[in-house]
Amino acid sequence: SQQCSTYLEVRDNAPARVSFDCRRPEDVFHVEVTRNIACDTKSCNGRIVQADNGSHPLVRFDRKFTWNLKASPPKAFQIDFGGAGLRQINMTDRCPDRHRYTLEAFQTTGSVVIGKYCREGRIGSAQILNRGSFSVDVPAGETLRRAEFDVRVGEEIKSLAKMTLMLLRGTSSLELLSPNYPVSFPDDDVMEWYFQLPSKHRAAVQVLRLTEPVCVKKSTALEYQSRARAAVVVRPTAPQPEQRQGNFSLTLRNCEMDKKRSASPGLSLGLLVSSSSESFPASCSVDVGALRMDSLRVRKTSPASHCEMRVNSVLKEDVTLTSKADVSFQDCLPEDVQTTAKATIACRQLRDCPKTPSRLAVPLLPACFPGPLSNVTWTISPPQQTTVELSGPVGNMRQSLPGQPCNDSVLVKVAEEVGPIGEFCPQGAIQKLQIHYCNVTVSVSPAEGQTLSEFEMSALITEEISERYIFIVSPKGDTPVYLASPGWPSGMQDHSTVSWIVSVPEEMEARLMFVNLSRPKCLSSHTYIKVQQIGQEEEDYSRWEDEEADIEIAMLDSFYLNMTNCKPERGILSVVTKISLQNNTRRLLTIMLSVVAALLVIFTVILVAVCVLNRRKKKKLTHQVSVYNPNGTSVFPGHKPETREDEDHVYASIEDTLVYTHLLRQGKEIGIYGETDTYRPFTGRTEACEQPP
């Protein structure tokens, strides 16, 4: 049977037939499509999908599409409006695309219209406490434009609603209205706006069209909060503070209003928020020579950046400085600019080279630069028949290897003409690295996620060595030392040699393990691995390329590990070794037995002496007793020892050759040093640093 009504509700997409007895029903009726979305404390069961599904026959009617949303206290629900965003309008304003949005909050006292909105604005998201709705009104004859908005669980907000806005770079402004505008904002309620400002921008807030209520308790206020400073509370009628310290939130607080007075209009206002760049060109003078560099390259990393760089008042995007220059930067963030520095250390004859180590120190850029250096590279060009010696900073260096990455802020890459030698970082056991005649580059850069801070090492050009590479290693404590062959994981150069000279502390022994060893099949010559205690002629360990390597080698004293490569037919020679220290139990046992034997000898001597004294019946004679001096000088009572006026026996300094005597006593098998502290001339390979054929 046919039923007449001015209202029809259809649920669950059930089919319905509707007929009208008037000529223009679109002038009388309108259509509303409603969907529900609920959120728990972790997620929501849907998203807002703006599509005209099922309502095409009703396109001639005014339509309203509504999504009712429910949060799970204490958290709010949040609607993300995507990249396009929304902008707030007056209640009577229309939108260019004829799609007008409404955001409402439902309270126990009734619904509150947070605002009316159009597409294309700076409002990125909205959060509402408890329950609310989001709707779009589409006029008759207009097709609903497809759009999607994510709905998710929001924050634990303390306000009726919280709107997040992203202000534009440069100069921009937008207008906001209090909830229910132009009607009063709810009694004793709170509304929050959160503003995201671009870097180096400031924001100003003006209060427009203010109406104030008669308050019974509290008072109306605007509260500004940011991370950079404490909250600032001002009256709406007072001048509003300028915001210069990044993102900030603005909270509108209403008082408990006197509703009995009909003359009290309640609280309503408009807010004009404007932002602008507060940056000024940061200028300074840079002297490349004073930085101990040969060149300084400065370039913009992104053409789309707002950063402006000028050199001697000329706009530049990429420039290499070699002398003095006036530079300025405006609106430049650290990631907008990359600065690198280069320097060269070179000499033609050994006698012309610096006699003291050259400092490889990361220079400090002038204050106007947006960020620190991205990379510093030194190229060391020695003359023929010489060696480049690199010394680590305080705390020495260690290699960066898989499982042993550099966690410091600095990464040091050492390379030669024919390829990389290795990557290093501070705080390790490698004291020195010697490289036979070759152009060597040392490149210092920040570790991932770090900035390049202060760092310093040294380089010295000295007489040549017989090996291609020598590492001086001094393990300490119970931290294992990992060492990799030059160029690892690639193989060593053909016919090249490397030695690691390892100092083992007294009363300790070293355990040497080959963690990763790869050996080639040789076309000519042989690969050879040798381990030998310093000062001994016999080898402790040696292997050719076709002999199986031991898993672990124990060394009771300082030693060296030597590796020689052949010309491979296939495969490579590469190795990663692990050196760990532990107490030398055998040496300790020897010391204990020696002490026991000494005590037995002393006991025997005392026993014999007692026996002899008992047999003597002579009168005891008085003897002058001397006082023992551990330095080897006997001092008799009453005799003050003379002191020498000249103290030539006291050393003002000790030469390195005397300090490292135990490293020099390597014997003829080592082939590195002679038997004295005088360097032995080079008798090994004489080929230049060239790429093998």
d(CA 202, CA 275): 6
**Helix, strand, coil % over all residues of the chain, rounded to 5:** 10, 45, 50
Per-residue pLDDT tens for 508-518? 888 999 988 99
Confidence at 292, pLDDT banded by 50, 70, 90: very high
Confidence at 658, pLDDT banded by 50, 70, 90: very low
Determine the pLDDT at residue 642.
41
DSSP code for 156: -
What end-to-end distance do the CA atoms of the chain give, in Å?
Answer: 99
Over residues 117-123, the mean pLDDT reads: 94
State whether 520 and 407 are in the same domain: yes
Mean per-residue pLDDT of the chain: 83
Residue 17, CA distances (Å) to 57, 115, 615 in order? 11, 36, 142
Per-residue pLDDT tens for 301-321? 988 887 889 999 999 999 999
Per-residue pLDDT tens for 538-576? 888 888 888 888 888 888 899 999 999 999 999 999 999
* In contact, 90 and 116? CB cutoff 8 Å: yes
State whether 127 and 231 are in the same domain: no
What is the SS3 assignment for 543? Answer: strand
Q: Is the pLDDT of residue 210 over 50?
A: yes
Confidence at 615, pLDDT banded by 50, 70, 90: low
Residue 289, CA distances (Å) to 343, 355, 402, 408 in order? 10, 21, 38, 29
Over residues 188-194, the mean pLDDT reads: 96
Determine the pLDDT at residue 243.
82
Over residues 572-588, the mean pLDDT reads: 81
Determine the pLDDT at residue 628.
36
Over residues 10-14, the mean pLDDT reads: 75
Chosen domain end from 248, 278, 308: 278
State whether 175 and 136 are in the same domain: no
What would the two tokens of residue 560 be? 């060296």
Alpha helices in 532-584 (DSSP H): none
Chosen domain end from 565, 583, 601: 583
Q: Is residue 231 in a domain?
A: yes
State whether 474 and 497 are in the same domain: yes
Determine the pLDDT at residue 594.
65
Determine the pLDDT at residue 629.
39
Confidence at 113, pLDDT banded by 50, 70, 90: very high
Confidence at 637, pLDDT banded by 50, 70, 90: very low
Chosen domain end from 127, 157, 187: 157
Q: Is residue 659 in a domain?
A: no
CATH number at residue 374: 2.60.120.290
The most confident of 54-68, 145-159, 231-245, by mean pLDDT: 145-159
Determine the pLDDT at residue 392.
79
Please tell me which residue, 403 or 248, carries the higher pLDDT value.
248
Question: What is the number of domains present in the chain?
Answer: 3
Determine the pLDDT at residue 343.
96
Q: Is the pLDDT of residue 258 over 60?
A: yes
Range with the poorest average pLDDT among 76-80, 509-513, 583-587, 632-636 = 632-636
351, 438, 352: which is closest to 390 by C-alpha? 438
What would the two tokens of residue 495 be? 């016919």
State whether 107 and 172 are in the same domain: no
State whether 217 and 360 are in the same domain: no
Please tell me which residue, 306 or 423, carries the higher pLDDT value.
423
State whether 201 and 273 are in the same domain: yes
Q: Is the pLDDT of residue 269 over 60?
A: yes
- Residue 477: domain span: 343-583
The most confident of 377-386, 451-460, 619-628, by mean pLDDT: 377-386
State whether 236 and 354 are in the same domain: no
What is the SS3 assignment for 415? Answer: strand
Q: Is residue 621 in a domain?
A: no
State whether 367 and 467 are in the same domain: yes
Determine the pLDDT at residue 570.
92
State whether 419 and 567 are in the same domain: yes
Q: Is residue 24 in a domain?
A: no
State whether 516 and 405 are in the same domain: yes
Determine the pLDDT at residue 136.
96
Range with the poorest average pLDDT among 536-540, 616-620, 624-628 = 624-628
Q: Is the pLDDT of residue 48 over 90?
A: yes
Q: Is residue 691 in a domain?
A: no
pLDDT over 70, % of the chain: 84
Determine the pLDDT at residue 677.
36
Residue whose token pair is 């002058």:
624
State whether 564 and 438 are in the same domain: yes
Over residues 532-542, the mean pLDDT reads: 88
Q: pTM (2 decimals)? A: 0.54
